[in-house]
Amino acid sequence: MATPHIDAGPLPFSRPYELSDLSAGGAELRISANDEELLRLADWLGVAEARRFEAEVRLRRHGADRFVYDAELEALVVQTCVVTLAPVPRTYRFEVRRLLEVHGGHRRRAESAAQAGVISLALDEDDTHEELSSYRYDLALPLLEELSLGLDPYPRAEGVEFTPPDELAAPEDSPFAALAKLRRRK
């Protein structure tokens, strides 16, 4: 199952990585957004403010042209309460796992990496599989996708609850009832 990519304009930031350079031992990387990137992130997400975006990313080879992407993301964003319009700061934590597979004319570099020794890992069927056309991969993309999809669509300030009106308008008060009265007068 391929993961759909976000099509909400250009990403607020990226962290390109050349997967073909990944050693058999893998790599551990830290992604942290700077102040300018946080401003772009808030605008991209449509939130009042993004205060923190930090992730630990682990990459491992799973075959000549397959890679495992594991990450832990923590982001602090401020949304607006849908009831009171008060700021709602919230920390989001996600674990992200992807199986990346490169297809196309880049296999020669991967084959030489495979000869250097590749660790084979068992993956769950639930792991998100992503097909790539190049070994150049944006490590920030899965993190941005998870955060944007995981935001609370209806944030509420602490202790605030939405209570719908007890009764709907009585039938005689509805606009259709008023039209019916006008019609009867003719």
78 contact partners, CB below 8 Å, separation of at least 6 = 47, 48, 49, 50, 51, 87, 88, 89, 90
Pair of tokens at residue 31: 């992604």
Pair of tokens at residue 104: 């196309």
Lowest mean per-residue pLDDT among 3-17, 75-89, 94-108, 129-143: 3-17
**pLDDT tens-digit profile of 37-88?**
999 999 999 999 999 999 999 999 988 899 999 999 999 999 999 999 999 9
